[in-house]
Amino acid sequence: MELTPKITPFQFYTILFLSRVFAMVTYVASFMTQRSSTDEVIMSLIMGGFLLLTAIPTAIFIKKDNTSSIITRASCVSTVFSKILCVIFFIQSLYFGIITSVRFGIFTGSVMFPDINIIFFIFVMLAASSYIAYKGIEAMGRSAVIILIPVFIALIFVFATQSKQFDLLNFTSLFSVDIKNTFLSGLYSCTRTGELAFVTLLTPYVNNQKSRHLFRWIFAIVLTIFVSEILISGVLGNFAGTQLFSMYAMSVLAEFGFIERLDAIITCLWLLCAAVKIAITIFLCETLLSAFFGKRKQILFIVISASVIFLGTIPLSGSLITLANIIRSPLTIIFYLASVFLVPIAVMIGEKIKGRAKLEKN
């Protein structure tokens, strides 16, 4: 019997943290609902509230059993139910991977090589991420911890250098545009944390996972986004809304000692975050296909997953408006709520009904 590779909770949540950081960096505020820069700060707190609320079923799920995935536990309720969940989560993972690849393509094409076809870079990134996924979650976990160190240092550098440019006059009155838009944006920002679904799906790969690890990860994400939004608002003000990537725009202005331009170094770190994000998504797709077919054909399933993501990315690459419309569509909210809220609750209810039925038989 093949033993399941294990990583520590810190390694696992580092992977998920870096994944969410890339979504934060490639966030395009100007294509979301209209609001002031100050509302962006409030939006990050609203996002945190929604994230905590929707994480409750996941926390209860792993507290009850931190050794089995949601697919395995669903199969104990019904084999058909587990197969349906495999299909649903596989489609959602492909959607997650396509959106990430499109973000990467737009970021690369806008920031690094504006005059070159971005399809080639997307292909190279998917190939590299597929290789990382092939090496397994243990290699991914070790790499993520190594990448976290320069990413953390880079964020501190940006925050420290830009604090000198901070001006309270850049802040506007709260909800100056529309309070409804701010709350709606907080919800959409929450749905961009699709990594929450990975917690129940990849539970067998994490050694001794606890609910407290989940909530520490959420706290780290919300704190990072909150501090970033405060600095972006205080340094750039409403000018941030005119920038394609406001976080990148702020890093361009950063300098530290003899390093006058940090943006080139930081951009490379963001690309590493993208590689981690796509790699864990492809790894998850391969795991779901293995669970569905009952056999593991790692290379074949990785190639299939990466190919579908690549083909899905091509028609969307280069179009910010299309990306914004997809992210703001009800489909995004449905995918998120179904995977992190409704499905864990449904599986736990199914387990309870099944357990009660067994007791009545005995």
Write the DSSP string, 44-65: HHHHHHHHHHHHHHHHHHHHH-
Q: Per mean pLDDT, which range of 31-45, 266-280, 321-335 is the poorest?
A: 31-45
User: In this structure, which amino acid lies at residue 21?
Assistant: V
Average pLDDT over residues 101-111: 81
Q: What does the alpha-carbon distance between residue 310 and residue 1 come to, in Å, rounded to a whole number?
A: 34
Is this structure's pTM higher than 0.85? yes
Under 8 Å CB-to-CB from 70, ≥6 apart: which residues? Answer: 61, 85, 200, 201, 203, 343, 344, 347
Of 30-44, 93-107, 186-200, 254-268, least confident by mean pLDDT is 254-268
CB proximity list for 264: less than 8 A, separation 6 or greater:
none
In whole angstroms, give the CA distance from residue 239 to residue 252.
14
* 74, 347 contact by CB (below 8 A): yes
Name the amino acid, one letter, at 341: F
pLDDT, greater one: 173 or 23: 23
Best mean pLDDT range from 24-28, 254-258, 306-310: 306-310
Q: Which long-range contacts link 312-315 to residues 24+ away (Cβ below 8 Å)? A: 312/94, 312/97, 312/98, 312/101, 313/98, 313/101, 313/102, 313/105, 313/122, 314/119
Specify the amino acid at residue 185: S
For the chain, domain boundaries = 10-324
In angstroms, the CA 342 to CA 203 distance is 18
Virtual CA dihedral for 68, 278, 230, 42, nearest 10 degrees? Answer: -60
pLDDT band at 65 (very low <50, low <70, confident <90, very high): confident
> Mean pLDDT in the chain?
83
Closest CA to 217 of 64, 55, 88, 36: 55
Q: How many residues does the chain have?
A: 362
Q: State the Cα–Cα distance between residues 265 and 330, nearest whole angstrom.
A: 37
Distance of alpha carbon 119 from alpha carbon 347, whole angstroms? 40
- With pLDDT > 70 as the criterion, what percentage of the chain qualifies? 82
d(CA 51, CA 61): 16
How many H helices and E strands in the chain?
15, 0
CA 42 to CA 176: how far, in whole Å? 12
Place of tokens 């606890």: 210
The per-residue pLDDT for 2 is 54
What pLDDT is attached to residue 257?
46
Range of lowest pLDDT (37-41, 98-102, 116-120): 37-41
Report the largest interatomic distance among the alpha carbons of the chain, rounded to a whole angstrom.
75
Cα separation of 254 and 55, whole Å? Answer: 35
Q: How far, in Å, CA of 55 to CA of 39, rounded?
A: 24
Integer Rg of the chain from CA: 21
Burial class (CB within 10 angstroms; exposed 0-12, middle 13-18, buried 19+) of 131: middle
Q: Which residues contact 358 (CB under 8 A, 6 or more apart)?
A: none
Q: What angle do CA 303, 304, 307 make, to 5 degrees?
A: 80
Q: Which residues pair with 206 in a beta bridge?
A: 7
